[in-house]
Amino acid sequence: MAAGVSSRMKSSKSNTNISKDQIKQSNSKAKGFIEVGKKNETIIYHIIKNSLIADINEFYIILSQDSLKFQNYLNKIAKELSVDIKFAFQDFYGSSKPLGTADAIFQTMNQFPELKKIRFLICNSDNLYSPKAIKTLKDEYLYNSMIGYDFRCLEYKEEKISSFSILEIKNDFLSKIIEKPDRETLKNYYTEKYVSMNIFSFIGEQVYKYLANCEINEERGEKEIATAIQNMINDGKGSVKVFKICEHVPDLTLKDDIILINKFLDKN
């Protein structure tokens, strides 16, 4: 998913430890296309490379309509890495920002109807997921599935947890997903806090109607994957298996995150 407008990144304060070029990119590009690390490769490039390690070589990149520069870049990457990249375009319905992640997947499935009949993985373009996480979902064939990250292993400050979805897991299956929990909700999840970082495997025929009928979150004005998943679970139409993983996932939300990702890539 790479159609976001990166409003938080663009509005965040710059840091003197970030190069002038990276500041310029962070003010003008979608987050997945910001060049990071010593080799100046984008987050999307790293996600595709990690997916290749997991034996995935076909990709659907969800872009905004005005993304010709990114399309040209991705065509170059496709040739370099010998992968198949198809472009989907998220209609903003006349708004200045997209209608959310559930809407992005829904529009992509309409543009590529084969996705309604097969299983596919979905992830953000601004989180650097490991080959292990990607392969774990790829290898699960029976159920819709997702990664539940142990928050203690993510190496984030405690206050950042409110920007994720908290997961309630029973016998390795998702029973409840709470998008951007408030403090009162978090009190109920003591030491073990498993969160979503938006990497899933979906069975197209099971999830499609829940994406299509996903209601708009009144507070955020978006159709969210978490809402569609919860509705599907409530209806008993598709179980979601949760694979618990303990590892750091570099996340690109604010300009200061560029520093952390640079350090992570330079070490690995």
Average pLDDT of 11-30?
86
pLDDT band at 18 (very low <50, low <70, confident <90, very high): confident
Most confident of the following: 24-33, 119-128, 181-190: 119-128
Query: Is residue 85 situated within a structural domain?
Result: yes
The two beta strands, 58-63 and 84-89, are: parallel
> What pLDDT is stored for residue 190 in this prediction?
59
Report the domain count for the chain: 1
Query: Is residue 31 situated within a structural domain?
Result: yes
Query: Is residue 20 situated within a structural domain?
Result: yes
Whether the pLDDT of residue 20 is over 90: the answer is no
Query: Is residue 124 situated within a structural domain?
Result: yes
Query: Is residue 2 situated within a structural domain?
Result: no
Query: Is residue 1 situated within a structural domain?
Result: no
What domain range includes position 232? 7-267
Average pLDDT of 66-73?
95
CATH number at residue 216: 3.90.550.10
The three-state DSSP-derived secondary structure of the chain is CCCCCCHHHHHCCCCCCCCHHHHHHHCCCCHHHCEECCCCEEHHHHHHHHHHHCCCCEEEEEECCCCHHHHHHHHHHHHHHCCEEEEEECCCCCCCCCCCHHHHHHHHHHHCHHHHCCEEEEECCCECCCHHHHHHHHCCCCCEEEEEEEHHHCCCCHHHHHHCEEEEEECCEEEEEEECCCHHHHCCCCCCCEEECCEEEEEHHHHHHHHHCCCCECCCCECCHHHHHHHHHHHCCCCEEEEEECCCCCECCCHHHHHHHHHHHHHC
Query: Is residue 181 situated within a structural domain?
Result: yes
Query: Is residue 199 situated within a structural domain?
Result: yes
Whether the pLDDT of residue 14 is over 80: the answer is no
The pLDDT tens digits for 133-145 are 999 999 999 999 9
The pLDDT tens digits for 196-246 are 999 999 999 999 999 999 999 988 899 999 999 999 999 998 899 999 999
